[in-house]
Chains A and B, each alone.
Chain A
Amino acid sequence: MKMSNQFSDDFEKIILNKSFGELSADELKALEAEGISESEFEAVRNMLKAMAEIEEEQILPAPELKNKLLSAFNEPVKNKGRIIPIQTWIITGLSAAALIALAFFIFKPGLDPAALKPELSQNIVQDSGSENNHNVELTEPVENTDQTEIINESSDISLPEVVQEPSADLVKDESEIVESVNSAEEPSLTKSEIDNLPEKKRLEEKAAIAESVEPTKMIQAENLSTTSVTTNFYSTPAATLSSGAIVTGKATTVAVEIKKSSDSMKDHKDMFATLVTIY
């Protein structure tokens, strides 16, 4: 119920000091607006007067309560120390969880963006200014990719999960192969004839081009056997020539296939000899 302001402000004073007949016109109007009749006004008035005369007997608590409280008061105040609010705990916990998740993602080798299947890495935009695909840029964070899908479909990708730097042994093997190929082939032409061969000139030109290109890209060979090792070589003129590189404009890619398990060194020699011949 909302009383009119005038009556509300002084209702106790009015009720206690005036009978219904003594009310002013404004006060009567206010009462009428509230729907308070004379009898009701008198009833409330009597009630208010009775309330004013009431003397309630005070109820006291048990006497031992005072002693209990006094001894509690005398107890040394416990050093509360620095209480860390619950919000701080929540924030700390969430931050730690986020860091763990981030670390897990970063250090999980299977989620290397370079090893993503082409259809899963549609958001990778190649640098349009270069013909090679060396410089890539992610249009959306790698975190947004569906990790489950990547893991499940990784078997379809021919690339091995772990990309290795060329080991010293491997480099040694390759150089041995190259040397053996070179030594196996007896020159059937004189030096001047060799120098005048158009094929050699072409190779030298391409080697010069390749030399001018910065080594950036790693290309992995196709699986040839279950134990094949994929090696990433930075393209260099030497590598280009010795391992049968394909030189195309600025882009230089080197594919090295080495079958260790079943093929002998002779197979390699034959393979490279064939490649050089074809070239």
Chain B
Amino acid sequence: MADNLKQLSDEKLMALIVSRDQLAFAELYDRYSGKLMTYFMRMLWNDREMAEDQVQEVFMKIARQPELFDLSRVFRPWVYTIAYNNCKMEYRKAERRGRPVSLEKAPEPSDVNAAIPERVDRKAFLIKLKEVLATIKEPHKSTFTLRYFDELSLKEIAEIHNCSEGTVKSRLFYTLRKIAARLPQFQNLVS
């Protein structure tokens, strides 16, 4: 039964969840909990506790009101839309508390421009990339993250952000230029 569920699409799992199938819910959780957790970590200041709370909130919504999902649509943009909206709510809360939503005006990360060994560690690149990404404002950061980390299609991102695909491309290019300008030491990463 569980193996059969693994072969089902997200949308079919949701149809089973609407009919209160617990195994389908567990399968959907296994598919998306890690992705969403990582997404929330990236989006919410690398705060693990906050990310877990958000994951719980998203799945609680699916558990209690699965009928909110339109079975004729695609699940992935829908669940990321919920996730993105939750992030926006957290940003608003943070603004009220005086916490900066993005660090765009913050000083450059201290060792970004430090000398990089010839054999650049990709892990180090990722760390630096995330540091720079934290300084990018919304919705550019989310667009970039969804595209290059979560690997969503341009169409899906456009649906999540409620904008055109052209706008998504424009935002992606803008963010790429900005990050490339901030991380010149990693130019030789790809050769």
CB distance from B142 to the nearest CB of A (A): 15
**Nearest Cβ on chain B to A214's Cβ, whole angstroms:** 71
Residue of A11, A36, A47 with highest tally of chain B CB at under 10 A:
A47
Chain A residues near B180 (CB-CB < 8 A): 40, 43-44, 46-47
Given the interface contacts A3-B169, A46-B189, A58-B35, does A73 sit within 8 Å of B181 by beta carbon?
Answer: no
Give the residues in chain A near B38, CB-CB below 8 Å: 56, 58-59
Interface residues of A in 59-76 (CB under 8 A from B): 59-62, 65-66, 68-70, 72-74
- Chain B residues contacting A58 (CB-CB under 8 Å) are 34-35, 37-38
Question: Contacts A65-B52, A65-B56 hold; do A49 and B26 have CB atoms under 8 A apart?
Answer: no
Does more than half of chain A's interface fall in helix, strand or loop, or is it mixed? helix
B74 in the interface (beta carbon within 8 A): no
Instruction: Answer whether residue A86 sits at the interface, using C-beta atoms and an 8 A cutoff.
Output: no
CB pair A3–B170 under 8 Å, yes or no, is yes
- The interface residues of chain A lying within 8 Å CB-to-CB of B84 are none
Does B119 touch A at the CB level, under 8 Å?
A: no
Give Cα A207 to B59, complex, Å: 94
> Do the beta carbons of B183 and A73 come within 8 Å of each other?
no
State whether B190 touches A46 (Cβ < 8 A).
yes
Partner of A54, one of B20, B35, B51, B148: B148
B125: chain A residues at CB < 8 Å are 50, 54
Asked whether A66 lies within 8 Å of B29 as measured between CB atoms, the reply is yes
Interface set, chain B 26-45, CB cutoff 8 A to A: 26, 29, 33-35, 37-38, 41
A48 within 8 A of partner (CB) = yes
A224 to B64, CA, bound (A): 80
In the assembled complex, how far is the CB of residue A53 from the closest CB belonging to chain B, in whole angstroms?
7
Pick the contact of A69: B29, B174, B179, B188 (CB < 8 A): B29
| Interface bits A16-52 vs B (CB < 8 Å: 1, else 0) | 0000000000000000000010001011101111111
A47-B179, A56-B149 given as contacts; is B173 within 8 A of A11 (CB)? yes
Residues of B within 8 Å of A12, CB to CB, are 169, 172
A54–B166 alpha-carbon span in the complex (Å): 25
A143 to chain B, nearest CB (A): 45
Contact B169 A61 (CB under 8 A): no
A-B pairs under 8 A by CB, number: 113
- Which residues of chain B have C-beta atoms less than 8 A from A77's C-beta? 64
Residue of A nearest to B173 (CB): A11
- Chain A residues near B37 (CB, 8 Å)? 58-61
**A66-B22 contact in complex given A11-B173, A12-B172, A44-B180, C-beta closer than 8 Å:** no
Complex formed: what's the CA distance from A44 to B176 in Å?
A: 6
1/0 contact string of B130-148 vs chain A (CB within 8 Å): 0000000000000000001
In the complex, chain A residues 70-110 whose Cβ is within 8 Å of any chain B Cβ: 70, 72-74, 77
A65–B55 touching, CB < 8 Å: yes
**Known A49-B190, A50-B189, A70-B22; contact A59-B41, beta-carbon cutoff 8 A:** yes
- Least CB separation from B181: chain A residue: A43
From A5, A47, A52, A69, give the contact of B59 (CB < 8 A). A69
Tell me whether A162 is interfacial, beta carbon within 8 Å.
no
Q: How far is the CA of A18 from the CA of B172 in the complex (A)?
A: 18
1/0 contact trace for B177-191 toward A, CB 8 Å?
A: 101110110111110
Given contact pairs A8-B166, A54-B148, A62 touches B52 in the complex (Cβ within 8 A)? yes
Contacts A54-B148, A61-B52; A40 near B33 (Cβ below 8 A): no
**Docked complex Cα distance between A11 and B53 (Å):** 37
A–B Cβ pairs within 8 angstroms, 30 of them: A1-B170, A1-B174, A2-B170, A3-B173, A5-B166, A8-B166, A8-B170, A8-B173, A9-B166, A11-B172, A36-B177, A43-B181, A43-B187, A44-B176, A44-B177, A46-B186, A46-B188, A47-B179, A50-B189, A50-B190, A51-B129, A52-B148, A54-B126, A54-B148, A54-B149, A59-B41, A60-B34, A61-B52, A69-B29, A69-B56
Q: Besides A40-B181, A46-B187, A72-B64, 19 other CB < 8 A contacts? A: A1-B173, A3-B169, A5-B166, A8-B170, A12-B172, A43-B181, A44-B180, A46-B186, A47-B176, A47-B179, A50-B122, A51-B129, A56-B149, A58-B37, A65-B55, A66-B33, A69-B29, A69-B56, A69-B60
